[in-house]
Structures are given as structure tokens and as C-alpha cells.
Amino acid sequence: MTDYIALPKAEVHIHVEGCFEADDVIRNCQEAGIPLRAPRDRLFEAHDLKSFLEMLDWLCGTFRTREQLAITAYKFARRMAKSGVRYADVIVNPTHWPHWHSNIPGMINAFDAGFAAAEQDGYPPVGLCVSLLRTQSAEDAIELVELLSRIRHPRVVALSIDGNEAAAGRTGPRFAEAFRRAAAAGLRRTVHAGESSGPEGVRDAIELLGADRIDHGVRAIEEPALVDLLAQRRIPLGVCPISNVALGVYPSLAEHPIDALRKAGVPVSINTDDPALLDTTLEASYAACADTFGWNSETIRQLAATSVHASYANPALKAQILADLAVWRA
């Protein structure tokens, strides 16, 4: 039995909004007098991407104080440690958080306080990827990038974009200027694409947004020339197989293209997306994929190495994790 918790690895596609604990949400509701959206056992229930995003908006609306955000950040880092994650890039989308729309610097500072306290207690370092929502305007996007460029918070490592691609339509052209400015400001660029959109979303992420990492990206498999491009340019995909099955992108793990993409030379890593809401862990995702696709320990090591290379961790930390991974034994 392989111990996937002991495997040195990074998590590079995970949302802070997908890591809430029910006790914290219920406590928030009690403190603010907010009625629960559903009984405790169905608090995180959703049936498709649309209802999932609506649930996120409600959950985030219960977080109203700096302390609540700091606690969430601390517990996120603790969750990562329990899965053996050595470094994480976490996505936060301010549009989901109604009480923080007009105070994004305060939101970043609150999360930073929690992450810093967690790191002092021995939990893994965390980089913050601040995300746009696909339905925002080009002006909103540029405004966010200018804000991030102005405050230059060391916790913020990247500009991200997420949301329902199928509902929003093609958005690459709208956000191209914001991503160009993010690159000029020294921010990395990670883009949700190829989940509810097809391969065209992945191509836009590369050609219009200059993505240096793509979140999901799995539907690139539908266009062989695009798979070749990803492989040639070594553009990593932060793949979330359990999420893709749970939200109906693929009917089963056996039909998921992560192994086909890997065999085609595309850098793929395993991630959880929204583990608390989907009731999964990173180690469970590794185990399920290894079992489904018959991966041996060397393949697992390569996938973990890809997660580290694809992360926005600093070079010294990457080198340390990779050195530990080199001596890992299944």
C-alpha cells in the first residue's frame, strides 16, 4: 500500500472557497444571524457547476471579519500538511466574497496573517493566486491588476481567472490586456480553461492570456495539435480528476484523459480543486488515479515532480522538495 501522504508534492489547483469547514460556516451564520442554506449534512450540496458556484457565493458571504479569514487561511495550511503537501498555490476570487469586494487589500492581509501564523507553526508555505471571474469586464480586470501591482503584496504570486466558461462564452480577448499588464508587473498567470469549455478555451489561455499554467485544461485532448503544443511548450496542466468526475465533465475516472495527456508528453499534476466541498483529499486523488490507470511508483514520482515544477514556490523550496522526492520510496 503506497503512502501518498508521505509523497513530497505540491498542490497547485485548489480554491480557498473549496476548503471551508462546516463548523466554521455554521459559526459564522450564528454570529451574524444568517439562516443556513440547507441542513448541515447538505450544506455543501451541489449538482453541477452552476449550482456549485452559487453555493460558493453563499458560503463566502458568511465570512465578514478579518479573524474569520485568518482562521480559514490557517486551517487551509493545516489541511495541506495533513495531505503531505510541501507547498500550495491557492486561488481566491474576491467576487465570491461580498463583504470584501471593496477591500481586497484587507482581504489579502487577513489571509496573509493566517498563512504566516500557520507557517510559523510548521505548516507548508502558501502562495495566493488572486482570481478574476469570467463575467467581469475588461475594465474590472485591469483595475484588479493595477491594484495588485500597486500593493505588491509578497503573498500574491499570480493572477488567475476562473468561473463557468460555458455560461460566460469566449472571454480570452476581453482579458488579454489585463494579463499582459500582470506579466509586466511580474505576476505569474494561471488560467482556468478546458473544463466547461472545449480546447478553444485552452488555446486562448496560451495565445491570448500568456498562461504559464492552466487549471484543468483536460479538454485539450479533443484537439491533437493543441496537445502537441502543450507538450512542446511544457505548459503544465493543474488537473483535478475527482472534481471533473463529480461535476460531470467526464462520466468516470476511467474515461478521464489525464493519463492520455501524460503519455502524450503534457506536464500534468494531480490536484483537488475544492476538496472539502467534494469530500476528497489529495492523497485519495493520487490513490484513485494510480489504481485506475495502473501507475507505478516512478510514474507517481514524475507526477509529484511536475506539481513542484509547476508551482510558484521559490527556487530554494522547489529544490528541497525535489531532493526529498528523489529519495521517496513507495
Supply the DSSP symbol for 41: G
As a whole number of angstroms, the distance between CA 209 and CA 179 comes to 6
Tell me, yes or no, whether 2 lies in a domain. Answer: no
**Arithmetic mean of pLDDT over the chain:** 95
Tell me, yes or no, whether 73 lies in a domain. Answer: yes
Average pLDDT over residues 208-213: 97
Q: How far is CA 180 from the centre of its chain?
A: 21
DSSP-derived secondary structure for 40-62? GGGTT--SSHHHHHHHHHHHHTT
pLDDT class of 322 with cuts at 50, 70, 90: very high
Tell me, yes or no, whether 100 lies in a domain. Answer: yes
Tell me, yes or no, whether 4 lies in a domain. Answer: no
pLDDT class of 122 with cuts at 50, 70, 90: very high
% pLDDT > 70, the chain: 100
pLDDT class of 165 with cuts at 50, 70, 90: confident
The C-alpha cell that represents 322 in the structure block: 525535489
Is the CB of residue 59 less than 8 Å from the CB of residue 46? no
Tell me, yes or no, whether 188 lies in a domain. Answer: yes
Give me the pLDDT at residue 330, please. Answer: 79
Domain span at residue 183 reads 9-326
For the stretch 36-64, pLDDT in tens is 998 988 999 887 878 888 888 999 999 99
Is pLDDT of 326 > 90? Answer: yes
Tell me, yes or no, whether 79 lies in a domain. Answer: yes
The enclosing domain of 218 has a CATH number of: 3.20.20.140
Residue 207: CA atoms inside 13 Å, Cβ hemisphere, count? 10
pLDDT class of 35 with cuts at 50, 70, 90: very high
Q: Report the domain count for the chain.
A: 1
Count, residues in the chain: 330
Strand partners, 129: 91, 158
Q: What is the pTM of this model?
A: 0.95
Is pLDDT of 94 > 80? Answer: yes
As a whole number of angstroms, the distance between CA 148 and CA 325 comes to 34
Tell me, yes or no, whether 1 lies in a domain. Answer: no
Give me the pLDDT at residue 1, please. Answer: 62
As a whole number of angstroms, the distance between CA 291 and CA 295 comes to 7
% pLDDT > 90, the chain: 88
Average pLDDT over residues 76-102: 97
For the stretch 230-276, pLDDT in tens is 999 999 999 999 999 998 999 999 999 999 999 999 999 999 999 99
Q: Which residues lie closer than 8 Å to 207 by C-beta, 6 or more apart?
A: 172
Tell me, yes or no, whether 278 lies in a domain. Answer: yes
Is pLDDT of 92 > 80? Answer: yes
